[in-house]
């Protein structure tokens, strides 16, 4: 199914008066409103191909129906999201969960929806049922057996090839490598082997490409992870060279980690590669962005806006803005709309911060004032700005409401059936 510009315009027409009333405060009284709207319009967030179906948990899965059954349908789903909010103009693929058999056709299909391909992800954290000689049970790039490492390296190079064919320009490497028990692994050998393997992948990167080294503190290994934190990721990225960066998945930290500080330092060092946005209460929960800790999301964007100065936060700036989510009880598309919306709001609020006043308060150690400045921005209702940016870009004033009004899920179920399983998590 597709959402025509007329359907979107009709919907916006119904809500326009109400919207204009709320927007009037901004346009009449806030000088920065126009700049914020323009920045929001330019800001695009990539949707992960593996989050378009119900993921479930290891205890069970309760599919919602109408899920995409192949890559083309996944692209169509992201196309729907993008039509609704005009802010989801990219898709990130996980290989081999999604293999573009005819890349030219896939690229064309994506272009029809106004989508480009963000980072391609390799997968050496599970064994594939066919065509895989060696097992990753004891790791991939860190493995004690050179033949396993070679297989994992070749897989990553293959993923780069797929990405090149699609016009992507970055590779995300997330490794589940590590150990479950003390004594199992020689940490230093694991580090050296992983570095050596990553170097071989790095050597295969095309000129304009980037490699994102994603870290994670736990799971599936529970004693040690070989790329377990931003320190080790930064170490690998630094040793690899200028095309390697650290990728921050918000759910991959130990409880209470100060993610905004991590982001600030990585950005300052020129080594922040991008994000996997999501939220978490306990672990790598992959929940809707901003659903648990919206203030943290705002504080992260505050550091980004501060550290990127006048640079626009779009793909051209070089960072990967991606979501990484998994859905258990919600409609995946609705959840992704909520995530994009939350990210846009955090960005808009961060743009509201009075940076001169904040720096002044910091320099004079006026703690209360500094805190107030941030809280003031965070407590501002920026929804009219986000709605206006969506509308001006051709999207809906309220993407989620239109999704429901048009019974999108029901239509997808009619087209695809009730019992559908998307590949991926």
List the single partner that 209 binds among Mn ion, ligand LRH, none, CB under 5 to 8 Å by kind: none
Binding map of Mn ion across residues 208-247, x = CB under 5 A, - = no contact: ----------------------------------------
Residue numbers 280-309 binding Mn ion by CB under 5 A? 284
Q: Is the bond into 96 cis (omega within 30 degrees of 0)? A: yes
Per CB under 5 A, 324 contacts Mn ion: yes
Per CB under 5 A, 253 contacts Mn ion: no
Closer residue to ligand LRH in complex, CB, 119/389: 119
Closer residue to ligand LRH in complex, CB, 159/408: 159
Which residue in this structure is represented by tokens 């648990």?
Answer: 292
Residue of 73, 229, 284, 285 that binds ligand LRH (CB under 6 A): 284
Residue numbers 403-422 binding ligand LRH by CB under 6 A? none
CB 345 within 8 A of CB 386: yes
CB 349 within 8 A of CB 297: no
**Pairing of the two strands 178-179 and 224-225:** antiparallel
> How many whole angstroms separate alpha carbon 2 and alpha carbon 79?
8
List the single partner that 86 binds among Mn ion, ligand LRH, none, CB under 5 to 8 Å by kind: none
Closer residue to Mn ion in complex, CB, 249/303: 249
Residue of 149, 276, 315, 327 that binds ligand LRH (CB under 6 A): 276
Provide the residue count of the chain: 425
Closer residue to ligand LRH in complex, CB, 185/250: 250
Helical segments of 30-70, H only = 33-42
Residue of 276, 315, 391, 409 that binds Mn ion (CB under 5 A): 276
Q: Which residue has the closest beta carbon to ligand LRH?
A: 174
DSSP 86: S
Residue of 26, 50, 202, 245 that binds ligand LRH (CB under 6 A): 50
Half-sphere exposure of 137 (CA within 13 A, CB side): 3
Per CB under 6 A, 341 contacts ligand LRH: no
Residue of 67, 77, 229, 249 that binds Mn ion (CB under 5 A): 249
> How many whole angstroms separate alpha carbon 116 and alpha carbon 109?
10
Residue numbers 202-231 binding ligand LRH by CB under 6 A? 214, 216
Closest CA to 80 of 414, 386, 403, 325: 403
Per CB under 6 A, 95 contacts ligand LRH: no
Q: Which residues bind ligand LRH (CB under 6 A)?
A: 50, 121, 174, 214, 216, 249, 276, 284, 324, 425
Q: Which residues bind Mn ion (CB under 5 A)?
A: 249, 276, 284, 324
């Amino acid at each position: 199914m597709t959402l025509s510009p007329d359907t979107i315009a009709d919907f916006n027409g119904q809500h326009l008066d109400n919207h204009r009333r709320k927007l009037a405060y901004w346009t009449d009284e806030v000088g920065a409103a126009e700049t914020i709207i323009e920045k929001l319009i330019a800001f695009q967030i990539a949707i992960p191909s593996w989050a378009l179906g119900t993921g479930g948990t290891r205890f069970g899965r309760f599919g919602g129906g109408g899920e995409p059954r192949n890559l083309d349908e996944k692209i169509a789903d992201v196309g729907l999201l993008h039509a609704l909010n005009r802010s989801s103009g990219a898709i990130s693929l996980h290989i081999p969960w999604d293999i573009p058999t005819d890349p030219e056709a896939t690229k064309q299909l994506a272009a029809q929806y106004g989508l480009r391909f963000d980072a391609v992800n390799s997968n050496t954290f599970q064994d594939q049922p066919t065509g895989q000689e060696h097992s990753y049970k004891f790791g991939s790039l860190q493995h004690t057996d050179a033949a396993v490492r070679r297989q994992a390296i070749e897989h990553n190079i293959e993923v780069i090839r797929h990405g090149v064919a699609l016009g992507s320009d970055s590779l995300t490497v997330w490794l589940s490598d590590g150990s479950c028990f003390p004594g199992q692994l020689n940490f230093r050998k694991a580090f050296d082997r992983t570095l050596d393997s990553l170097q071989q992948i790095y050597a295969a990167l095309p000129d304009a490409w980037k490699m994102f080294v994603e870290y994670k503190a736990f799971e599936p290994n529970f004693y040690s992870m070989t790329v377990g934190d931003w320190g080790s990721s930064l170490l690998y990225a630094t040793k690899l060279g200028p095309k390697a960066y650290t990728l921050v998945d918000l759910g991959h930290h130990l409880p209470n980690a100060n993610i905004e500080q991590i982001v600030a330092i990585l950005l300052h060092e020129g080594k922040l590669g991008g994000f996997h946005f999501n939220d978490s209460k306990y672990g790598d929960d992959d929940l809707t962005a901003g659903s648990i800790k919206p203030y943290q999301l705002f504080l992260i964007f505050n550091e980004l806006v501060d550290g990127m100065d006048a640079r626009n936060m779009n793909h051209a700036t070089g960072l990967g803005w991606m979501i990484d989510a998994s859905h258990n009880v919600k409609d995946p598309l609705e959840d992704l709309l909520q995530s994009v919306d939350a990210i846009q709001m955090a960005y808009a609020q961060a743009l509201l911060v009075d940076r001169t006043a904040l720096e002044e308060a910091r320099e004079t150690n006026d703690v209360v004032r500094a805190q107030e400045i941030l809280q003031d921005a965070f407590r501002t209702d920026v929804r009219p700005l986000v709605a206006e940016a969506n509308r001006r870009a051709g999207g809906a004033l309220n993407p989620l409401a239109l999704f429901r009004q048009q019974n999108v899920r029901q239509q997808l179920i009619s087209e695809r059936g009730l019992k559908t399983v998307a590949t991926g998590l």
